[in-house]
Amino acid sequence: MLNKNKLKTEIYAYFLLVIGSLLFAVGDVMFVNPYLLAPGGTYGLANVFNTVWPWKISYYAICMDIPLLIIGTLVLGPRFGVKTVVSTVLIFLFTWLIETLWGYNPVIHGGIDEVATDVHNYVQIPHSDLFFVPDYFLNTVVAGVIYGVAIGLIFKSGATSGGSDIISMIIHKYTKISLGTLVLVVDSCITLTTLIAFKQIRLPIYSIILIAIESKVIDLIVDGIKSYKTAFIVTDKVEEVREFIINDMKRGGTIFAGTGMYQGAERKMIYVTLDRSDLVKLKSNLRFLDPQAFVNVIESSEIMGLGFKALPEE
Residue 115 has pLDDT above 50, yes or no: no
- Cα 127 → chain centroid: 34
Residue 262 inside a domain? The answer is yes
Residue 126 has pLDDT above 70, yes or no: no
Non-local CB neighbours of 230 within 8 Å, separated by 6+ positions: 271, 272, 273, 274, 297, 298, 299, 300
Q: Model's pTM, two decimal places?
A: 0.75
pLDDT at 44: 93
Residue 162 inside a domain? The answer is yes
Are residues 153 and 52 part of one domain?
A: yes
pLDDT in tens, 62-102: 999 999 988 888 887 776 778 888 999 999 999 999 999 99
Q: Which amino acid is at 283?
A: K
Residue 309 inside a domain? The answer is no
DSSP string, 51-94: HHS-S-HHHHHHHHHHHHHHHHHHHH-S-S-HHHHHHHHHHHHH
Are residues 119 and 267 part of one domain?
A: no
* Least confident piece of the model among 48-52, 144-148, 218-222: 218-222
User: 257: pLDDT confidence band, cut at 50, 70 and 90?
Assistant: confident
pLDDT at 144: 94
Is-contact 235 290, C-beta < 8 A? yes
pLDDT at 123: 41
Residue 63 inside a domain? The answer is yes
Decide which of 163, 188, 223 is a domain's last residue.
223
pLDDT at 119: 46
User: 204: pLDDT confidence band, cut at 50, 70 and 90?
Assistant: very high
Residue 181 inside a domain? The answer is yes
pLDDT at 221: 85
User: 120: pLDDT confidence band, cut at 50, 70 and 90?
Assistant: very low
Residue 21 has pLDDT above 70, yes or no: yes
Residue 307 inside a domain? The answer is no
Residue 311 inside a domain? The answer is no
Is-contact 96 58, C-beta < 8 A? yes
Are residues 234 and 210 part of one domain?
A: no
User: 311: pLDDT confidence band, cut at 50, 70 and 90?
Assistant: low
Are residues 113 and 98 part of one domain?
A: yes
Residue 308 inside a domain? The answer is no
Q: How many domains does the chain have?
A: 2
Residue 114 carries which DSSP code? G
Are residues 213 and 138 part of one domain?
A: yes
Q: Domain limits at 280?
A: 228-300
| Whole-number percent of the chain with pLDDT over 70 | 84
Are residues 160 and 256 part of one domain?
A: no
Q: Going by DSSP bridges, is the β-strand pair 254-259/228-235 parallel, antiparallel, or unpaired?
A: unpaired
Are residues 51 and 97 part of one domain?
A: yes
pLDDT in tens, 32-55: 999 999 998 899 999 999 999 999
Beta-strand runs (E) in the chain: 228-235, 254-259, 266-275, 294-300
| Whole-number percent of the chain with pLDDT over 90 | 33
pLDDT at 260: 75
Decide which of 194, 223, 252 is a domain's last residue.
223
Measuring CA to CA, which residue among 180, 208, 184, 182 is closest to residue 194? 208
Are residues 242 and 218 part of one domain?
A: no
